[in-house]
């Protein structure tokens, strides 16, 4: 029992100090990358650098579309999940949004954060399932073609309206 209490205290301290030391940037400091986020990503984030995927113990680097995972004591980067996770349903897994450089170098911090995140059983809607037009820009979104067509129609020059039915007032 004492060991369990000790582990909980250490994890709590690690969790709280990692928040105090982590240099988070506000969304105002990032450009939006909604169009580059995977459609399995959660809605509500204009910019995402990484997702931590605790159930498969991997990261996803949004700008390069790469999975990062530990293998043989080293971090590997691939465009696909490793074979042991092939076919994993990315829509149903927990995701922690991270806007830091190389978060996998602080992997233990994110494992602890994931423990706290699992207590939140609310499921976030994925970008694919959102009907908010800001996500239609994403090429893999089901509404992307409609969004593109709407943009194309807005860019067409409007014909000037000339009213030829009225004569100018007499002088």
pLDDT value at 9 more than 70: no
pLDDT tens for each residue of 108-147: 888 887 877 665 545 689 999 999 988 999 999 999 888 8
Please report, for the chain, the start and end positions of each structural domain, with discontinuous segments joined by +: 29-128
| Alpha carbons 126 and 130: distance in angstroms, whole number | 6
Taking residues 91-114, report their average pLDDT.
87
- Please indicate whether residue 69 or residue 9 has the higher confidence score (pLDDT): 69
Radius of gyration of the chain (CA): 24
Predicted confidence (pLDDT) per residue in 70-80, tens digit = 999 999 999 99
């Amino acid at each position: 029992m004492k060991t369990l209490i000790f582990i909980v205290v250490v994890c709590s301290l690690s969790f709280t100090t990692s928040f105090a030391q982590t240099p988070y940037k506000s969304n105002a400091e990032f450009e939006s990358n909604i169009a580059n986020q995977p459609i399995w990503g959660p809605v509500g984030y204009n910019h995402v650098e990484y997702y931590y995927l605790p159930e498969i113990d991997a990261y996803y680097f949004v700008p390069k579309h790469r999975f990062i995972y530990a293998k043989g004591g080293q971090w590997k980067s691939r465009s696909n999940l490793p074979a042991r996770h092939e076919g994993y349903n990315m829509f149903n897994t927990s995701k922690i949004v991270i806007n830091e450089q190389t978060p996998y170098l602080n992997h233990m911090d994110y494992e602890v954060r994931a423990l706290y995140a699992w207590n939140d059983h609310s499921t976030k809607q994925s970008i694919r399932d959102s009907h908010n037009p800001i996500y239609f820009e994403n090429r893999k979104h089901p509404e992307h073609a409609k969004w593109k067509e709407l943009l194309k129609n807005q860019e067409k020059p409007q014909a000037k309206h000339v009213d030829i039915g009225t004569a100018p007032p007499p002088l």
